[in-house]
């Protein structure tokens, strides 16, 4: 396998996973990975549905860090285990996000958008009474705002996440339609020394592509983008490193020669 690092993984510390951290580590070693990075959810001021627990996407970071340090001591000579977080970016909580990011010695921070203007694209209501394009525009415009108001993160996660949930998903998606926002996002990341991730969960959502899709990956490369991490977004051991071979050939095809692993918030480059 040409990619030996999975940099987007959740465990029981995330409210939508019950995977033991140790089981994730053992599976990663069985697969021959050299690096993994746990990236539990931290989504402050999330808009929950009334019938679900109101803190699913809040991680007890002290408890998470404690277990991770124990695992590093136990397995660190066989597998590099990094301390990361998937931070839900929203424009009105910038100060809270800054305080949180600086409070821990993270190796890696993924900035993600699971919400858009206090609305959840996962819900049908996000797409109701308007066409899909309008909803997608709102999402990409919102990421652009998030990026310009906050910078304490390393890569932007699953950049076209909204395509998972649209009525026709990515069937009618065309980068040109959203070029203004997407180019602004990519340029801003590159200018500030940040990157994107290739998130292979897109394959399991039947998009036939990772997040982001090939067109966006190509554009990122064309604009000079080099910093790119790869993650499965696995919430259980069975999905660790899933579709990594597919991802490697896509990235090679798009002109990438390296992937990154972050350590102490700095990218280290590895060839495919």
The residue ranges that bind Zn ion (CB under 5 A) are 86, 112, 233
Q: Of 35 and 239, which CB lies nearer to Zn ion in the complex structure?
A: 239
CB of 121 to Zn ion, least distance (A): 11
Separation CA 3–CA 231 (nearest Å): 10
CB of 270 to Zn ion, least distance (A): 22
CB of 131 to Zn ion, least distance (A): 25
CB of 242 to Zn ion, least distance (A): 13
SS3 state at 139: helix
CB of 176 to Zn ion, least distance (A): 26
Among candidate residues 261, 239, 246, the one with its CA nearest the CA of residue 24: 239
CB of 56 to Zn ion, least distance (A): 13
Q: Of 132 and 233, which CB lies nearer to Zn ion in the complex structure?
A: 233
Side-chain-side CA neighbours of 22 within 13 Å: the count stands at 5
CB of 255 to Zn ion, least distance (A): 26
Q: Of 169 and 177, which CB lies nearer to Zn ion in the complex structure?
A: 169
Going from the C-alpha of 186 to that of each of 30, 50, 165, 222, 266, the distances in angstroms are 35, 35, 22, 10, 19
Q: Of 11 and 65, which CB lies nearer to Zn ion in the complex structure?
A: 11
Going from the C-alpha of 122 to that of each of 109, 164, 206, 244, the distances in angstroms are 22, 8, 15, 25
Q: Of 154 and 233, which CB lies nearer to Zn ion in the complex structure?
A: 233
Phi first, then psi: give them for residue 224, nearest 5 degrees: 105, 10
Among candidate residues 264, 201, 254, the one with its CA nearest the CA of residue 226: 254
Going from the C-alpha of 218 to that of each of 69, 175, 224, 244, the distances in angstroms are 37, 11, 10, 18
Separation CA 139–CA 133 (nearest Å): 10
Q: Of 7 and 250, which CB lies nearer to Zn ion in the complex structure?
A: 7
Please enumerate in sequence order all residues whose Cβ is within 8 A of that of 41, keeping only pairs 6 or more positions apart, or say none.
10, 14, 15, 16, 56, 57, 58, 59, 86, 88
Q: Of 48 and 257, which CB lies nearer to Zn ion in the complex structure?
A: 48
């Amino acid at each position: 396998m040409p990619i030996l690092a999975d940099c987007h993984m959740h465990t029981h510390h995330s409210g939508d996973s019950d995977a033991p951290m140790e089981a994730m580590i053992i599976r990663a070693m069985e697969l021959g990975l050299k690096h993994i990075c746990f990236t539990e959810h931290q989504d402050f001021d999330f808009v929950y549905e009334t019938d679900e627990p109101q803190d699913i996407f809040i991680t007890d970071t002290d408890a998470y860090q404690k277990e991770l340090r124990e695992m590093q001591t136990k397995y660190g000579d066989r597998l590099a285990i990094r301390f990361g977080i998937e931070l839900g970016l929203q424009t009105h909580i910038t100060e809270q996000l800054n305080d949180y990011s600086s409070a821990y010695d993270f190796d890696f921070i993924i900035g993600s958008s699971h919400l858009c203007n206090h609305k959840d694209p996962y819900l049908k209501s996000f797409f109701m009474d308007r066409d899909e394009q309008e909803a997608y525009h709102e999402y990409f415009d919102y990421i652009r705002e998030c990026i310009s108001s906050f910078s304490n993160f390393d890569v932007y996660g699953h950049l076209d996440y909204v395509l998972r949930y649209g009525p026709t998903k990515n069937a009618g998606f065309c980068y040109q339609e959203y070029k203004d926002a997407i180019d602004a996002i990519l340029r801003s990341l590159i200018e500030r020394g940040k990157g994107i991730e290739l998130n292979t969960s897109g394959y399991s959502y039947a998009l036939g592509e990772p997040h982001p899709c090939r067109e966006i990956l190509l554009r990122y490369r064309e604009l000079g983008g080099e910093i790119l991490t790869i993650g499965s977004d696995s919430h259980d051991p069975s999905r660790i490193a899933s579709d990594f071979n597919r991802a490697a050939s896509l990235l090679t095809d798009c002109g990438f020669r390296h992937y990154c692993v972050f350590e102490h918030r700095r990218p280290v480059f590895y060839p495919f």
